[in-house]
Structures are given as C-alpha cells and as structure tokens.
Amino acid sequence: MKIWLNILIIICVITAMVLSWLILNLFFTKFFFPNAERLGKSIGTKTNNKVIILIIEILTLLLPFIYIIGQILLYFITNFWKGNFLFYWFISTIIFLGCLFIFSSAFVEYKKLHPDYEPPIISRLKVWTAELKLNRLKRFYLINRIGLLIQQIPDFLKAVTILYLSLILLTSLEWSENFYFLSFCLIPLYANYWVYYIKILTINTNQKEVFVRRAVMYMIMMAFATYELFTRYQDYIYERTGSTDFRVLLLAGSGVLYIALDRILKEVTVDYLNFKKEKQYELAINKRNKL
C-alpha cells in the first residue's frame, strides 16, 4: 500500500511540475510579453513628438547596462546568501523585460509609421561603426559569438524567471521532504528545454543559438562544480567534517570538472570549424561573383 501511495505522490509531483511550467510559460508568452508589445505599439502609434521618441531610444539602449549595473549593486547590497537577492532580482527582472519590450516595440512601430525618421543615436552609432570598420569584427569568431550570446540574454532571463516561480510554487506545497527532490529535477529538465526549444513544442532549428545556449549551460555547470569542489576542499583542509575522503574528493570533483570542460571545448571546437567553413564558403562566393 505504501509503495502505491509513493507512486501516486510521485505522479502528483510530476503533474504539478508540468502544470506549473506550462501555466507560467503560457502567462509570459501569451499574456505578459504580447501585452507589453501591444502597449509599446500603441505608444509608437500615438506619439508624434520626436523628443519622446528620442527618450525612448535612449532608454532602450541604456536599459541593459542599467540592469547589469543594478544587479551587481543589488548583489552587494542585499548579500546573496541572506535570501533577499533572489526576490529583488525577480522583481527587477520582470520590470526590465517589460520595459524592454514596451520601449523597443514603441520605437520600432514609430519607425514603421515614419520611414524617413532617422534615429539620432543609432544613426550616429552606424556612422562610427562604418568609420572604424567595426563590422569587420564580426568576421572574428569570438566577437561573432559574443554578439549571439548577448542576443540570448532576454530569453535566458525569461527562462530563469519561469523556473524561479515554478520552484517557489512546488516547494511551497506540503509533501514529504524526500519528494522535494523531484521539484529540483525541474532545473535540468527546463535547462534542456530552453536549449532545444523556442516555444512550448517548437524545436529551435537555429544551430548557432543552440550552441550558445549549450555553452552557457555547461559554463554554469562548471562554475557550480568548481564552487562545490572548493567548498568540500575547505572542509577537508580545516577538518570541518571528518567524512570526506581526499581521494574520492579529488577523483569525483576533477571528474565533474573534466566532463564539463570537455563538453565546452568540444562544442566550441565544432562550432569554430563550422564557422570557418561558412566564412571560406562566403569568400569563395564573393570571388566568384566578382569574376
């Protein structure tokens, strides 16, 4: 009887995991972001004042930098390990994503309705880019992939926000402590979903995006593994716990770090070879067209 009860609880936990992820995903993709975009388009349609559009342009460009600096300051002010950081991070991230969608939608909509309008700051940046020949930097592998990484930040923040809310919901339910482990299994499951899917059941066919997302996950895993290994090493050195075998610590910790680093280097190597082939193909096409 106890076995069937545990099986039933496991089914309920898995169902709660799927439902929490589905509901939150639908909330953001079908309600939050579409309404933010709709509000931005409404602002862009009704605004005829170029000063307001200039302010929107400045805010759109500055928002990512304000967000990053704000998170760094927030980390030191709230002290991450006291637990306040995650709450304020969540609130500030929601505000950032909402404002980013509103301002960018307003700017794009205004530009559509006024094709002759030249954004002062963006136009100036394009001129500087042309004068300094910065577009050529995209030919370099590292610069090109850093640009792709920056493009993934809003979607990554959305994914982390949904995961954070799901974990809060699941861990707030009352069940046996042993079953809380199933809630945390949502983390690797959702991480893989974010890497390979762009919508609920839509596979991401952009292999460059998939590579960047895989590399991000491997780097996060390596960072956590390094921190955990360092913590256990300190426990062993200062004899905080006497149950740690140094050989097990060395082999297990080094093994996890090796696997994570191996995956990162493999992904980067394969992607670099593909990038090099693409550039050689483009050069061959350009030479053929000139002839």
Q: Which amino acid is at 124?
A: R
* Reduced 3-state DSSP string for the chain: CHHHHHHHHHHHHHHHHHHHHHHHHHHHHHHHHHHHHHHHHHHHHHCCCHHHHHHHHHHHHHHHHHHHHHHHHHHHHHCHHHCHHHHHHHHHHHHHHHHHHHHHHHHHHHHHHCCCCCCHHHHHHHHHHHHHCHHHHHHCHHHHHHHHHHHCHHHHHHHHHHHHHHHHHHHHCCCCHHHHHHHHCHHHHHHHHHHHEEECCEECCCHHHHHHHHHHHHHHHHHHHHHHHHHHHHHHHCCCCCCCCHHHHHHHHHHHHHHHHHHHHHHHHHHHHHHHHHHHHHHHHHHHHHC
Distances (CA, A) of 256 to 40, 74, 136, 224, 245: 46, 31, 38, 10, 16
**Predicted local confidence at residue 262, as pLDDT:** 85
User: Considering only 41-55, 84-98, 207-221, 241-255, which range has the smallest mean pLDDT?
Assistant: 241-255
User: Are residues 9 and 179 in contact, defined by beta-carbon separation less than 8 angstroms?
Assistant: yes
The mean predicted confidence, pLDDT, of the chain is 76
Q: Which amino acid is at 158?
A: K
What number is the average pLDDT over the span 223-251? 71
pLDDT of residue 137 exceeding 60, the answer is no
**Model confidence over 42-84: pLDDT tens digits?**
888 888 777 888 888 888 888 888 888 888 787 777 765 555 6
Structural domain boundaries of the chain?
A: 2-185, 206-291
**Model confidence over 4-23: pLDDT tens digits?**
666 666 666 667 667 777 77
Rounded to whole angstroms, the Cα distance separating 216 from 224 reads 12
Rounded to whole angstroms, the Cα distance separating 1 from 7 reads 10
**Model confidence over 177-188: pLDDT tens digits?**
666 676 677 778
**Model confidence over 141-193: pLDDT tens digits?**
777 788 788 778 878 887 887 777 777 766 666 666 666 676 677 778 888 88
Please report which confidence band the pLDDT of residue 204 belongs to, taking 50, 70 and 90 as the band edges.
confident
**Model pTM?**
0.70
Residue partners of 13: CB distance under 8 A and separation at least 6:
170, 175, 179, 182, 183
Nearest to 99 by CA among 123, 51, 66: 66
